Each structure stands twice: as C-alpha cells, then as structure tokens.
Amino acid sequence: MVSCAAWPGSGLGRSGAQAGRCRRRGSAHGTYLRRGSCAARGERAFTTSPACLARRLQIVEHIDRHVPKRGGGPIVGRHLLVVDLNRCVAPCSKAQIGAWFEGTVLPRWLGLEPRELTCQRFWDHMDRVSPEAIVAIERDLSAHLVREFDLDLRRVLFDATNFFIFLDTFNARSRLAQRGHSKEGRASLRLVGLALLVAADFHVPLLHRTYPGNPPDAPTFASLTDELVARYREVAQGAEHVTLIFDKGNNSQDNLDAVAPSRGAPKTVSRVR
C-alpha cells in the first residue's frame, strides 16, 4: 500500500486523508483516476504512480514558490498539477479537463471544484509562468529528485532533438517554431528543438531547453555548455569521475574544451560515434 497525505489547504482532515489513500488494488474510496469520455471507455489508471509521486516531489510547492497566486480561483501549482496528471493518465483537451477531474479522486485531495478548471483559467495561469520561473522550478525540482531518490550522477547523458507541431504556416509570431530538418521526416511542418540532460540512473531529466527548430546540433550544444556545467555542479555535489555522454552530432573541439574538467564540469567526456 502506498499512502498519500492531503495537500495543505485541501480541506482534508485526518479521516479524509485516510480515505484518499492510494492503493495498488481496487478500493471503495475510488482511488483510481478513471479515464473519462476523452479516452477509451472502461480503461482505468492508478493514481498511485502519478499523484502520489507528485506529492512526494512537492511539485505544487515548487511551482507556487516561484509563481505566487493572484486573485481568486485555484492556485497555479494545483491547476498545473491537474493538467500534468491528466496528461499522464488520460490526455484530453483543456476544455474537457474539468469533466475528467470530477470523475477522479483528485477533488478530495486538492480541494478544487471542477468548474474552476476552465480553459481560460489555464491559459491565464500559463501566462503568469515566466521563462525565469520555469528555469527556477526545474532547478528546484531536479535537486529535489536527486535528493529524494539518491540518484547516481556518475553518468549523465545529453542529447538534442526536435518535434513537429501543427502551427499555422502563416503564423509569424512564434520564434520557436521554425522550418528545419525534421528528425521524424515531417518536412512540411514547423519544428521546435528540445535539448535534455538526464541522469543515466532511470533517465531522470536534470535540465531541458527549447529552442528554434532550425539550427544543427553542434551549435545548440555550444550555446548550452555554461548551463550544462552550472546545472551539473548544482545537482552532482560529491559525485566523482563523472562521464558526460553525448552523440557525435555535438562533436567539435570547441565543445570538448567547453566542458573540460578544468571548468568543474564532468571529469570524463565520452562521445557516442
């Protein structure tokens, strides 16, 4: 059995928290996140993994520390957590999340009303999450992950990719969505680049950056070396003989020099050819 304590301010007393426990098996308390009309009928997904893990990682607290609440309605962290959990177990449109949420155990845990989870309120909350806040939230969450699960950071992996989106061709406002070489062969669509630094231990993300989808890998790696070194030093305190693994698309002498051990970066750099 895995038990989840109530979120602070959710209105759950001791008995409510007890009733809201996650169980690996069925329960009369409805501790499953049921898939709603936006997913296949009759399928169910456990709350044990996503919701209890979110509580253990203090995701709401990390978000709210950098994006404080303004005005009425749900706080930003809880709303974004609902969206994340929905994405994990029963993805549907933002307009349908309220109906999905109502059929789960989450209202009892989070103290939210389904009518509060409107599409407009989601976008209002997202507008308040600045790029600086995203960096700070990711930094705190990565450090929390390393501490909570005692991750082995002697090997870390870096790679960059891109993904296509269906943004209107004539929409010129986006600086991220650009034409480039699609790694999925969708040359007709615009691309967004994604760079990830992850621990080899369970592939837990430590750093991510999005960027325009048209530059090649090597310049992207070069533009991120300072951030890579800084994040590594933040989360890998005490680790020795660390190997940074990246593929040959990032291979250049300048890049190797940029992550040299003399800068406090990983002591060994390995290239996958």
Of 14-28, 35-49, 69-83, 103-117, the range with the highest mean pLDDT is 103-117
User: Do 118 and 167 belong to one domain?
Assistant: no
pLDDT band at residue 64 using 50, 70 and 90 as cut-offs? very high
Residue 235 backbone phi and psi in degrees, to 5: -100, -15
Domain assignment of residue 50, given as a range: 14-128
Number of structural domains the chain divides into: 2
Which tens digits make up the pLDDT trace of 85-101? 999 888 999 999 999 99
H helix count then E strand count, the chain: 10, 7
Q: Do the domain assignments include residue 7?
A: no
User: Do 72 and 112 belong to one domain?
Assistant: yes
User: Do 156 and 206 belong to one domain?
Assistant: yes
Contact status, residue 225 vs residue 259, Cβ threshold 8 Å: yes
CA dihedral 58, 63, 68, 71 (to 10 degrees): -90
CA dihedral 103, 108, 114, 119 (to 10 degrees): -100
Which tens digits make up the pLDDT trace of 184-198? 888 889 999 998 889
Over the chain, what is the mean pLDDT? 76
Amino acid at 65: R
Which tens digits make up the pLDDT trace of 205-254? 998 988 888 887 666 777 777 777 777 777 776 666 778 888 777 777 77
Tell me the pTM: 0.73
Looking at residue 128, the DSSP 8-state letter turns out to be: H
Q: Do the domain assignments include residue 139?
A: no
- What local confidence, expressed as pLDDT, does residue 272 receive? 52
Q: Do the domain assignments include residue 141?
A: no
pLDDT band at residue 2 using 50, 70 and 90 as cut-offs? very low
User: Do 200 and 265 belong to one domain?
Assistant: yes
